[in-house]
Amino acid sequence: MYESDEIIAYMFNTYGDGEVPLPLRLGPITAISAGLGMLGRMGKGSKYRAAKMPEKPLELWAYDISPFCKVQWPFGT
């Protein structure tokens, strides 16, 4: 991202102590190193592909004491 230096500086000024670590303030070098880190992915995850509708509606199951599920009232919203 071309504006990432400004975004990083804003985040450190707003939520941190205002001091941006050296590896994050190298400008173009940071962008190049991030690009090199993505080479192994060969572009995976950077393109959108439309989803297909399932043939049948999904049926989700959970058990009562699971911390990862909850009942929402009213049902269907």
State the average pLDDT over residues 37-63. 82
Give the pair of three-digit tokens for residue 57: 């509606």
Verify cis geometry, omega within 30 degrees of 0, for the bond prior to 74: yes
How many Å apart are CA 77 and CA 62, to the nearest integer? 17
Q: Write the pLDDT tens digit of every residue in 4-44.
A: 788 888 999 999 999 998 888 887 887 788 778 778 877 77
